[in-house]
Homo-oligomer: A and B are copies of this chain.
Amino acid sequence: MASMADKNSPTDKKRVLIIGGDGYCGWATSLYLSNRGWDVAILDNLCRRAFDDELGLSTLTPIKTIHQRIKTWKEVSGKDIPLYIGDVNDYDFLTSCFQEFKPDHVVHFGEQRSAPYSMVDRKHGIFTQANNVLGNINVLYAIQEHAPECHLIKLGTMGEYGTPNIDIEEGFIEIEHKGRKDRLPYPKQGNSWYHLSKIHDSHNIHFATKAWGLACTDLNQGVVYGVMTDETAMHPDLINRLDYDGVFGTALNRFCVQAALGYPLTKYGKGGQTRGFLDIRDTVRCIEIACAQPAEQGEMRVFNQITEFWSVNQLCDLVQEAGGRLGLDVEIKSVPNPRVEAEEHYYNVVHSNLLELGLEPHLLGDSILDSVLGFAMQYKDTADLKQIAPAVKWTEFSKKKVAVEV
């Protein structure tokens, strides 16, 4: 339970619907908020598990079914998490969830979130934009029609900004041009159908806040790393997923698994690509901060949800060093970059909003590296090396080449 003095603890608007609550960020967040005293419900269509089936991939950690997870959480914590299995693109279903659960906040994690998956071929690109953009419009209508005071907390991505040659601000930028001034949405440049879907979401949400007065917090999240949170550690059934494959594995998590397996760290191209990162223990806290100190009606608030930035080369060095301390001999190998992206660029990101609201970051230190590496070493016997290679080229469309060979 949160202490009374903590301004980021449950308010009387405490009903939180977590869309995508069976996923990596969503599961950790659901348990964290539930444990802190918020009333949590999960909505998920479990498509993330289906993507693994489709491509022959799997999480390194042995995750349980969502039903088992929720049952065990009830046993461990005494708390109920109502479960709604279905698609946000099914509006009748979404409506019935809103009418039954009556959320004060909707945290919308429920999108196809892999850039490589969106680039597999035309069908996967179309699926990603349809699933994400149309699903998010449904969420906007559901709020407007059934819960106009409900606060939307939407997950965007730092990748919406691309890598401009000027500092990246939080969602909006003050522009002086030909002697006049305005505060305008920050220019967006996406590098995959996935990143573009998030750009479209942001524009659509901005409109809904203006046209309908909805309250929205748009979290442009960086790359999340780590696998342990206090709650998921309470019981083996509650363990979170750890993706290490070339399609869903994100940079740092994937490197840690590669190191544990004695596989060279595969950096794409020159490795100068720089991105913002954060610990999953900060992801869950950021969501709580957004719930406890919500946006106003009619406001579109944008936070850059990162705590540090690193280049791929820096990450590789960090993992190599931490691996060394655990007795691992970690090699670094450059492979041809399957993506179309700048490999050397300026990168400086403003991310003060969440800090001002009370975020106390877990910085990337030995402890977290050790913990991800430790997890990876614990489960390394179940790993499948064939899943690690970069599987999707941005300029080639072939699902056959992506599915893992058996």
Contact A130 B125 (CB under 8 A): no
**Across the two chains, which residue of chain B brings its CB closest to A199?**
B203
Q: A122's contact among B91, B122, B185, B192, by CB below 8 Å, is which?
A: B91
Contact B211 A207 (CB under 8 A): no
How many copies of this chain does one complex carry?
2
Contacts of A200 in B (CB 8 A): 133, 196, 199-200, 203
Q: CA of A141 to CA of B118 in the docked complex: distance in angstroms?
A: 13
Q: CA of A207 to CA of B126 in the docked complex: distance in angstroms?
A: 14
Contacts of A203 in B (CB 8 A): 188-190, 196, 199-200
Contact with B along A2-15 (1 / 0, CB 8 A): 00000000000000
Interchain nearest-CB distance for A374 vs B (Å): 38
Q: CA of A211 to CA of B397 in the docked complex: distance in angstroms?
A: 13
Binding site for B on A (CB under 8 A): 91, 122, 125-126, 129-130, 133-134, 137-138, 141, 145, 164-167, 173, 175-178, 180-182, 184-193, 196, 199-200, 203-204, 206-207, 210-212, 340, 346, 394-395, 397
Contact A166 B178 (CB under 8 A): yes
Contacts of A180 in B (CB 8 A): 165-167, 346
Q: A130's contact among B134, B196, B199, by CB below 8 Å, is which?
A: B134
Contact A137 B164 (CB under 8 A): no
Contacts of A191 in B (CB 8 A): 207, 211
Q: CA of A189 to CA of B166 in the docked complex: distance in angstroms?
A: 21
With contacts A173-B177, A212-B395 taken as known, whether A193 is within 8 angstroms of B137 at the C-beta atoms is yes
Interchain nearest-CB distance for A258 vs B (Å): 26
Q: CA of A10 to CA of B130 in the docked complex: distance in angstroms?
A: 38
With contacts A175-B175, A189-B184 taken as known, whether A137 is within 8 angstroms of B125 at the C-beta atoms is yes
Interchain nearest-CB distance for A115 vs B (Å): 11
Q: A189's contact among B122, B176, B185, B192, by CB below 8 Å, is which?
A: B185
Contact A138 B126 (CB under 8 A): yes
Contact A175 B185 (CB under 8 A): no
Q: CA of A379 to CA of B129 in the docked complex: distance in angstroms?
A: 44
**Across the two chains, which residue of chain B brings its CB closest to A183?**
B165
Interchain nearest-CB distance for A394 vs B (Å): 5
Contact A134 B126 (CB under 8 A): yes
Contacts of A206 in B (CB 8 A): 189
Contacts of A91 in B (CB 8 A): 122
Q: CA of A38 to CA of B193 in the docked complex: distance in angstroms?
A: 34
Contacts of A122 in B (CB 8 A): 91, 137-138, 141
Q: CA of A268 to CA of B243 in the docked complex: distance in angstroms?
A: 54
Interchain nearest-CB distance for A192 vs B (Å): 8
